[in-house]
A and B are shown apart, each in its own frame.
Chain A
Amino acid sequence: MDYTGFLANIAILVLSGFIGFAVISKVPNTLHTPLMSGTNAIHGIVVLGALVVLGTAENPGLPLQIISFVAIVFGTVNVIGGFVVTDRMLAMFKTRPVNTNTTSATDGKN
């Protein structure tokens, strides 16, 4: 990689930090647990890093093979588990009966 490429990566890094702040600031308190577990799944992207390290090594020795193996297992657990549990959690928020009746009834009573 040359300097231009590296600086472009730094630019992407800085901008995505700002985008992250902008997007995440809008998430309501109610969804903070799914948000945390969802972002948790997204950082499971590190599994790609493990694949690249092992996949681009020309003649990986045993230590590298073992380390990469564990890294890929860990990363896969992170990404798969994270998305599955987030999906389960969010499914609970999905069906919400619009219960305007009860509210207006009690309002009248007060």
Chain B
Amino acid sequence: MDILVYALYILAFAMFILGLSGLTAPRSAVRGNKIAAAGMAVAFVATLIHIRETSSWLIIIIALIVGVIIGIPPARKVKMTAVPQLVALFNGVGGGTVALIAWGEFIESDGFTGLHVASGPVLPLVIASLFAAIIGSLSFWGSIIAFMKLQQILPGHPLSVGRLQQPLNAILFLGSIVAAVIVGIGSVDTGANPVWFVAILVLAGILGVTTVLPIGGADMPVVISLLNALTGLSAAAAGLALNNIAMIVAGMIVGASGTILTNLMAKAMNRSILSIVAGGFGGGGTQGAGAASSGDQIAKSTSAADAAIKLAYANQVIVVPGYGLAVAQAQHAVKDMAKVLEARGIEVKYAIHPVAGRMPGHMNVLLAEADVSYDAMKEMDDINGEFSRTDVTIVIGANDVTNPAARTDPNSPIFGMPVLNVTESRSVIVLKRSMSSGFAGIENPLFFGENTTMLFGDAKKSVAQVTEELKAL
């Protein structure tokens, strides 16, 4: 039977890898996800065979039913604009599971002393469990905070204790390591006091909270990817400790995926992962921006009718979506406007910055929901050369990713970050709720540009008004 279990695990992880390779193209992606889910079912059956002689069936079945009841409704009902927080939440409970598994093992093996009976590698297994406990707890609490920020239960802007932040985090980190070492040493003898294991979980948990709280909303794509990677790695560690190859492979693949995405996001912001985790934009940065902008610059405001006229006589229009589009849920309104424009023979393209929105690829999903053709969504490198040939660029709820200061002003805190060259197009219409600066508090010279006009108001309503005006023309 053990051989059957092992063979099923091998089949399961082969299906995970096969399923994920399906994600390389939109056409095969649905099937890929289903293959991965089927792989999960295989691994699940294998595990049930493995534990077939257990006396805890009742608890297991009830827990599974409760999990299904809690898990399915939000996944089915969530609005596409709210996917980032749901992913953060699911990621968190995964991390929580890992931490609890490590705790369960600690209890079951009498503080890991049980492991010493068998001849074999004891220390590496204990270390793997302790690693899983620390990272799992950190990921759980960090993800919960990320969820609360995205859901706007907590304010999106950075919350920190200032200069004490870094020392505090360092102390928490060291504290959880020390507690882990005490538990590790205790396992050789009679087992450490369970208080120490709880201390690991608590300290790592607080570390997760204090690490994510100071990170601002615009950095969330990086944070979510990073937390995802961490949960993956902790799952692999738990797999090592439990001698479960399916968990090892799945955990490592998730770890690799999260690492790749984290790197991509950080690169797209021209910042190191470390500086993002260390907290939002510091005071020094905003000062630089303040000096660059002058109070007497005036942005030109426009009306929906004027905007419609400009659009109607364009050959090519580029839409630049940002988080504001998600907040206003304007994706369907944008698609309607594009339809009217296309009916007039105007080509509409979408310029998508890698970090637009709150998670990697967020804008693509929203536009796909509104039925925007996959081919019309352009990545930054592909579209940047086209702005100079574009008549009208409409910026909808995007700010920092269009800021020309990133290219021209060495004093700007985002100097060097790759941005969309919207200023090169003949005219720019910016849809924005008010003149308040973006999340990072950085002034955007784009708003004061010669060719820029501002259309103030809720993005969804503004776009709908422009569409009405277009139809009336």
Contact = CB atoms under 8 A, between A and B. Distances in A.
Interface stretch (B208-216, B354-362, B396-404): B354-362
B153 interface: no
Interface in A52-101: 52-57, 59-61, 63-65, 67-94, 96-97, 99
Given A68-B59, A76-B63, A76-B67, A32 B364 contact: yes
A27 B379 CA distance: 13
B100 A27 contact: no
Nearest to A31: B23
Interface in B22-71: 23-27, 29-30, 32-34, 36-37, 40, 43-44, 47-48, 50-51, 54-56, 59-60, 62-64, 66-68, 70-71
Given A60-B108, A106-B315, A110-B315, A72 B242 contact: no
Contacts of A31: 23-24, 26, 29, 361, 364
A33 B362 contact: yes
B121 interface: yes
Interface stretch (B185-193, B225-233, B279-287): B225-233
A46 B37 contact: no
Given A54-B104, A61-B107, A96-B26, A33 B90 contact: no
Contact of B90 (A29, A73, A78, A89): A78
A51 B119 contact: no
B252 A20 contact: yes
A53 B96 CA distance: 15
Contacts of A37: 83, 87, 90
A103 B30 contact: no
B37 A72 contact: no
B63 A73 contact: yes
A84 B34 CA distance: 10
B228 A83 contact: no
Nearest to B31: A90
Given A32-B261, A84-B75, A93 B29 contact: yes
Q: Is the interface of A mostly helix, strand, loop or mixed?
A: helix
Interface residues of B, number: 120
Contacts of A63: 107
Nearest to B243: A1
Nearest to A89: B365
Nearest to B98: A46
Interface in B324-372: 342, 345-347, 352, 354, 359-362, 364-365, 368-369, 371
B360 to A, nearest CB: 4
Nearest to B194: A63
Contacts of B34: 87
Contacts of B231: 40, 43
Q: Which bucket holds chain A's interface residue count?
A: 35 or more
A83 B21 CA distance: 16
Contacts of A84: 71-72, 75-76
A6 B228 CA distance: 26
Interface string B401-435: 00000000000000000000000000000000000
B250 interface: yes
B249 interface: yes
B305 to A, nearest CB: 25
A27 B28 CA distance: 12
B103 interface: yes
A-B complex: 5 closest residue pairs judged by Cβ atoms: A76-B67, A55-B51, A20-B256, A32-B361, A32-B360
Interface of B: 13, 16-17, 19-21, 23-27, 29-30, 32-34, 36-37, 40, 43-44, 47-48, 50-51, 54-56, 59-60, 62-64, 66-68, 70-72, 74-76, 78, 80, 83, 86-87, 90-91, 93-94, 96-98, 100-101, 103-105, 107-108, 118-121, 124-125, 224-225, 228, 231-232, 235-236, 238-240, 242-261, 264, 315-316, 342, 345-347, 352, 354, 359-362, 364-365, 368-369, 371, 373-375, 377, 379
Interface of A: 1-3, 5-6, 9-10, 12-13, 16-21, 23-57, 59-61, 63-65, 67-94, 96-97, 99, 102-103, 105-106, 109-110
